[in-house]
Structure 1
Amino acid sequence: MIRTSARSAVPAARLGALGLAAILVLGGCSGDGGEPGAEAAENSSSSPTASESPTESASPSATPTPTAAAYKPATAEGPAENVPLPVMPDVAKEESKEGLIAFGDYWFSLLNYGYETGDASPVKELSTPECQLCEFYYVDLEEGYENDDWILGGKINITSSGTQFEKTPNGRYQLLLSVQQEAGANRGPNGVSYGESSGSQSSTAQIMEATYTPDGWVVNLVENM
């Protein structure tokens, strides 16, 4: 059944941080360095010794493979470092039941990325101004990261999600989720602690409403049920 009415969004506690592993695959290619002359081609049936091999064909020194800076989660001593930005899976770009569920997972991973980095722009790009919980989120980030402060812990876990994938009268799709929040805290330099949350022992039911546009999914509403 489509939920046709939505009450005011309930401000969530500090939503937390989620570090996602990023794999960077570096591919190499080797060129085909042919023999430098016709005579060498004629004698290709016998393997040349090291002294017979032309110096031009010597293997070049291997170029060191650049490595990404290591991810470090936040601690009581400092904020997270080198947090990789979550990558949207291809299925999350589809206007389908599976696409909406995957998009919901991705959107929440961006929430967690923002809490770990203080960067709200990825969520803003995929959310409309009418999303009230999003506005609380932006304020949380601004306050949580001012004066070199940071947010520690509070990871959001989606325990289940599902959708009937039917449009509401205003053209939106609804996604129902159960989420749990781990313990978290607001920290500052020199051991300052502004407050802590014990997290949630049980799941909280939430609803997301999203619209599919020519550019993909965009979130209109997220709130507790």
Structure 2
Amino acid sequence: MIRSAVAPLRLGTLGLAAILVLGGCSESGGDPNAEAAEKNSSSPTASESPTESASPSATPTPTAAAYKPATAEGPAENVPLPVMPDVAKEESKEGLIAFGEHWFDLVNYGYETGDAAPVREISAPDCEICASFYKDLEEGYVNDDWIQGGELTIRSSGTAFVKTPDGRYQLLLSVIQDAGSNRGPNGKVYGELPGDEASTAQIMEATYVSDHWVVNLVENM
């Protein structure tokens, strides 16, 4: 059963808005110079040397595969890995807030892909809710199963940026989650949970180690 990464035994708050935004793709137009060169092919005059000029053919620009959110028919495809912004690497108030947002982005990425590695890389081994999240992904993506929905959205966040006696900084968040379900091939539905009607107050504790942040704790307040 899918559970919120920040609220054990319940489905948290993910948002479809981010999925819909990521679903767009763009097309690149042709090279106007190539067309002009093709039309400008008149025969040389008597005073001109009939030299042959070969213009290099344009190299097609590679197009990234389009992102597709999970549906009842199959898992998400070509999910882009969230990139940590530079500010999220700073030991500052702004850095902690940006890092917290990035951590939740990676949780959403995990729900869509079953890949827990990005969250593991920036979370402490003793982070209990992280362990619950890893288990959710293991169970949700066993064999050919997948998770649909469950995206978490941060409504607001803030911090006093004062160290606790344990040397951690605390970040307060308001989080809401979309409806989600555990699905399998041939229309199987192992479990469904409705989305949150209201946001949940949560607290994250993180430690700045050397040159990066590490999540120690995330729980409801």
Do both proteins adopt the same fold according to a TM-score greater than 0.5, normalized to the shorter chain? Answer: yes
Whether the 8 Å CA contact 1:10–1:223 is kept in 2: the answer is yes
Following TM superposition, by how much is the alpha carbon of 1:64 offset from its aligned partner in structure 2, in angstroms?
0.8
* 1:164-194 Cα deviation digits (max 9, x unpaired): 0001111110000010011111100000001
Structure 2 residue matching 1:147: 3-state secondary structure: coil
Larger radius of gyration: 1
Aligned pair partner of 1:62 in 58, 63, 74 = 58
- CA contact under 8 A between 2:150 and 2:195: conserved in structure 1? yes
Query: Does structure 2 conserve the Cα–Cα contact (< 8 Å) formed by 1:14 and 1:140?
Result: no
User: 1:186 aligned to 2:178?
Assistant: no
Say if 2:184 is the partner of 1:200.
no
What's 1:123 paired with?
A: 119
Alignment RMSD (CA, Å): 2.4
**What is residue 35 of structure 2 aligned with on the other side?**
none
- Segments of structure 2 that go 5 or more residues without pairing to the other structure are 1-5, 25-43
Larger relative contact order, structure 1 or 2 (CA cutoff 8 Å, min sep 6): 2
Match of 2:140 in 1: 144
Aligned residue in 2 for 1:74: 70
Deviations 1:118-149 (A, max 9, x none): 00000000000111000000000000000210
The letter of the residue matching 2:84 is: M
Give yes or no for contact 1:174–1:207 (8 Å, CA) kept in 2. yes
Aligned pair count reads 192
How far off is 1:215 after superposition? 3.3
CA distance in 2, matches of 1:89, 1:101: 11
| Mapped partners of 2:56, 2:73: distance in 1 | 45
Structure 1 stretches lacking a partner, 5+ long: 1-8, 24-48
Write the letter of the residue equivalent to 1:207.
I
